[in-house]
Amino acid sequence: MTLGPDPAADPDATPVLGIAAGAVPPPGQAAGPAGPPPSPRTRASQTWHRFHYAVGVFLIAYGVTGLASAVALWDDRRDEIDAYFGSGPVTAVLVLAKLVEAALVLSAVAGVVLRRDLLFVPSMAGWMAGFAMFAVLDVFTTRWGGLFEHLLYLAGFVALLFLSYGLSAKAQLAGAPRRDVEPGSPRGPNGLTRTQEFALQAINRAAALRTGPRPRPEQRG
Is there a domain that residue 201 lies in? Answer: yes
Instruction: Give the residue-averaged pLDDT of 10-14.
Output: 44
3-state helix, strand, coil in the chain (%, to 5): 60, 0, 35
Q: Which residue has the higher pLDDT, 118 or 23?
A: 118
Instruction: Give the residue-averaged pLDDT of 115-122.
Output: 95
Residues 52 and 120: beta-carbon distance below 8 Å: yes
Range of the structural domain that residue 134 is part of: 46-177+187-207
Is there a domain that residue 102 lies in? Answer: yes
Is there a domain that residue 15 lies in? Answer: no
Model confidence at 218: pLDDT above 70? no
Q: Is 111 exposed, middle or buried (0-12, 13-18, 19+ CB in 10 A)?
A: buried
| Alpha carbon distance 101, 119 (integer Å) | 14
Is there a domain that residue 193 lies in? Answer: yes
Model confidence at 58: pLDDT above 70? yes
Instruction: Give the residue-averaged pLDDT of 19-26.
Output: 50
Is there a domain that residue 35 lies in? Answer: no
Residues 63 and 102: beta-carbon distance below 8 Å: yes
Distances, alpha carbon 110 to alpha carbons 145, 173, 177, 221, in Å: 35, 24, 29, 58
Handedness of CA 104, 110, 116, 117 (dihedral sign): positive
| Alpha carbon distance 202, 77 (integer Å) | 38
Is there a domain that residue 36 lies in? Answer: no
| Alpha carbon distance 175, 192 (integer Å) | 11
What φ, ψ does residue 42 adopt, rounded to 5°? -70, -40
pLDDT band of 189, cuts 50, 70, 90: low
Q: What angle do CA 175, 181, 184 make, to 5 degrees?
A: 130
Per DSSP, the residues of 2-69 read: -BSS-TTT-TTPPP-TTSBTT--PPTT--SS--PPPPPHHHHHHTT--TTHHHHHHHHHHHHHHHHHH
pLDDT at site 185 = 52
| Alpha carbon distance 65, 61 (integer Å) | 6
| Alpha carbon distance 117, 124 (integer Å) | 11
Lowest mean pLDDT among 125-134, 149-158, 182-191, 209-218: 182-191
Is there a domain that residue 40 lies in? Answer: no
| Alpha carbon distance 193, 104 (integer Å) | 28
How many domains are there within the chain? 1
Instruction: Give the residue-averaged pLDDT of 48-74.
Output: 95
pLDDT at site 202 = 72
Handedness of CA 80, 85, 88, 94 (dihedral sign): negative
